[in-house]
Amino acid sequence: MSEAVIRSIGGPVLHARAKGAFRVGEVIEIGARRLPGEVIRLKEEELVAQVYEDTTGLRPGDPVYGTGGPLAVRLGPHLLGSIFDGLLRPLDGALDREALPRQGGGQFRFRPLATAGQALGPGSPFGEVPGGGINQLCLLPPQLAGTVESIAEEGTFAADTNLCTIRTPAGALREVGFFRHWPVRQARPVLERLPSDEPMITGQRILDTLFPVARGGRAALPGGFGTGKTVLQETLAKWCDADVIVYVGCGERGNEMAEVLHDFPSLVDPRTGRRLMERTVIIANTSNMPVTAREASIYTAVTVGEYFRDQGLHVSLMADSTSRWAEALREVSGRLGELPGEAAYPAYLASRLAEFYERAARVRTLAGGIGSLTIIGAVSPPAGDFSEPVTSHTKRYVGAFWGLDRERAQARFYPAIHPLQSYSEGAGRFASWWTERGNPDWVAQRERLLSLLESQADLERMARIVGKDALPPAQQLTLLCAELVNESFLRQSAVSPVDRFCSPERQTAMLRVILRFIELAEAALERGVAPQTIAELAILRRLQRMGEEIGEDRLDRIPALRADLEAAMADIEGAPRHAA
């Protein structure tokens, strides 16, 4: 392989004189410790590379070795339930050994899905790794097809065993095992991209009902510090309706990773009854780890997501935070002396963001199955200013935008998603999904809520000028109803064992009760009941605490609550004590 000699080093960037052919994007090994790096620029003899480790102690004259290949990661059945660094090197052998389809000492179970003589197309499964909640498939690499020459019997094999031999149409023999490598900066091929008309249920009322994200869609989660980005990302990772979660902590806190590692093994997926850790891959590059590996970690995570998608699974990728990744780009760009763009970010920031988000999709896999990769990226705008480059470029590429609001967060109103700043493009396409789940009125209900919240904002501005008392009764009632929607429906505690997850059925039931209250209250107002009287009804407190008091297994209490509501409202209709 080619060699080079270091000429100078500054931070994570080095310049070297090449003695042989290098390629842009080629992985190199540096110095006696063989630190990993990647070539980013070539000019005649001169080679510029970024180093993925701390460069302390490197010196001019140290050797650089080429490897011939691009930055690639090893994909296989070892990923689920474990934690890796930005280059997919294990940070801890196995955290949750029992959960893994692994038989100590790096062994896996294998069950063949093909027989000798069978013809297999590119990306087809030839076997599976049973256990651990999900049967992981062993797929042929996308560029390989042929007939099965021989295949292993069902059994337990060492990780590096060759399981299957394929004879290609050209007559060559190729061996495949549990693992395959894939270059992280290249999207894995699919048969076709499919439209997505199905929401990815997150178990969060404000998201599923107001701002749903599609399976295979993209969502951005921007918010200043302390607005609850990370808690929301973790909540989504815990309860969203996906087969596999890839959680990438990019330039964030070490204690957050510790929290994920601590919580996930003990939590149970409400849909499958299996432990959450079994469906999770964690990629951690904390803020104090090398900045260049932070840049790579996003691509690593997407590649892992695509690997599971190609097995016909629904994958959700949580990236926290894409801003730190953009800052890593900026730092390396600055070291290279590139012309800075807006806020000193490199001019190619937007195209890099687009490349990343474009890898989310609902697809028909090479093997003919249907899989999806949904990307939810947190953004940390400096000073919470959504007009900064990372947020504004991200906005162009995502379908759902969940803006976090500092004022809500300060009142400990979580999730602090601002209903008027957030949006979900083309939410109407999910109507048929909700109809199938027994709620044909979803579109109308959603519009009702949004317009109610819109008028609340207008009226509060007005009240600031004329005083709340001066508002006409109908507007006072609107404020009361909007407050109820916020308090009882949009607020949802991530730490409450009862309310942290809300199924679509429960969301619909709660929403119907609330909308019925609004209907009845408006009718009462028509009959001359004062808003103040309605505000003092005891039933209101029960509605406000509905999420906390009526859990998933207590949905049968809803009719009783509704009956009490009807009775309470009928009562004031009969005797308007404080009629205006």
Q: Among 463, 498, 555, 558, which residue interacts with other proteins (rule: CB under 8 A)?
A: 463
Residue 474 CB neighbours (<10 A): 11
Within positions 66 to 85, which residues make up the interface with other proteins, using CB under 8 A? 83
Q: Among 105, 171, 273, 467, which residue interacts with other proteins (rule: CB under 8 A)?
A: 467
Q: Which residue has the tokens 């005083």?
A: 467
Where does this chain touch other proteins (CB under 8 A) — which range of 18-26, 264-272, 460-468, 558-566? 460-468
| Residue-by-residue DSSP string for 166-196 | EE-TTS-EEEEES-EEEETTSPPP-SEEE--
**Binding map of other proteins across residues 304-333, x = CB under 8 A, - = no contact:** --------------------x--x--xx--
Q: CB neighbours of 186 closer than 8 A, spacing ≥ 6?
A: 70
Q: Among 465, 472, 553, 577, which residue interacts with other proteins (rule: CB under 8 A)?
A: 465
Cα 337 to the chain's mean position, in Å? 33
- Does residue 118 touch other proteins according to CB under 8 A? no
Within positions 484 to 513, which residues make up the interface with other proteins, using CB under 8 A? 487, 495
- Does residue 95 touch other proteins according to CB under 8 A? yes
Mapped onto helix, strand or coil, the DSSP state of residue 50 is: strand
Within positions 373 to 402, which residues make up the interface with other proteins, using CB under 8 A? 380, 382-385
**Binding map of other proteins across residues 32-61, x = CB under 8 A, - = no contact:** -----------------------xxxxxxx
Where does this chain touch other proteins (CB under 8 A) — which range of 9-17, 162-170, 197-205, 502-510? 9-17
- Does residue 10 touch other proteins according to CB under 8 A? yes
Q: Give the shortest CB-437-to-other proteins separation in angstroms.
A: 29
Within positions 208 to 237, which residues make up the interface with other proteins, using CB under 8 A? 224-226, 230-231
Q: Among 242, 540, 550, 561, which residue interacts with other proteins (rule: CB under 8 A)?
A: 540
Q: Give the shortest CB-475-to-other proteins separation in angstroms.
A: 13
- Does residue 464 touch other proteins according to CB under 8 A? yes
Q: Give the shortest CB-287-to-other proteins separation in angstroms.
A: 3
Q: Give the shortest CB-260-to-other proteins separation in angstroms.
A: 9
Q: Which long-range contacts does 468-476 make (Cβ < 8 Å, 24+ apart)? A: 473/525, 473/530, 473/531, 473/580, 474/525, 476/531, 476/532
- Does residue 295 touch other proteins according to CB under 8 A? no
Contact 174, 166 (CB under 8 A): yes
Q: Give the shortest CB-288-to-other proteins separation in angstroms.
A: 4
Q: Among 71, 544, 568, 569, which residue interacts with other proteins (rule: CB under 8 A)?
A: 544
Strand 370-379, strand 314-320: pairing: parallel
- Does residue 177 touch other proteins according to CB under 8 A? no
Residue 253 backbone zone (phi > 0: left; psi -120 to 50: alpha; other: beta) = beta
Q: What angle do CA 147, 153, 158 make, to 5 degrees?
A: 105
- Does residue 348 touch other proteins according to CB under 8 A? no
Nearer to other proteins, 466 or 575 (CB): 466
Helix 322-335 / helix 389-397 crossing angle, nearest 10 deg: 120
Mapped onto helix, strand or coil, the DSSP state of residue 451 is: helix
Q: How many residues does the chain have?
A: 580
Closest-CA residue to 283 (of 95, 79, 137)? 79
Closest-CA residue to 401 (of 243, 203, 235, 206)? 206
Q: For the chain, how long is the longest CA-to-CA vector?
A: 95
Within positions 254 to 293, which residues make up the interface with other proteins, using CB under 8 A? 254-255, 257-259, 261-262, 284, 286-289, 291
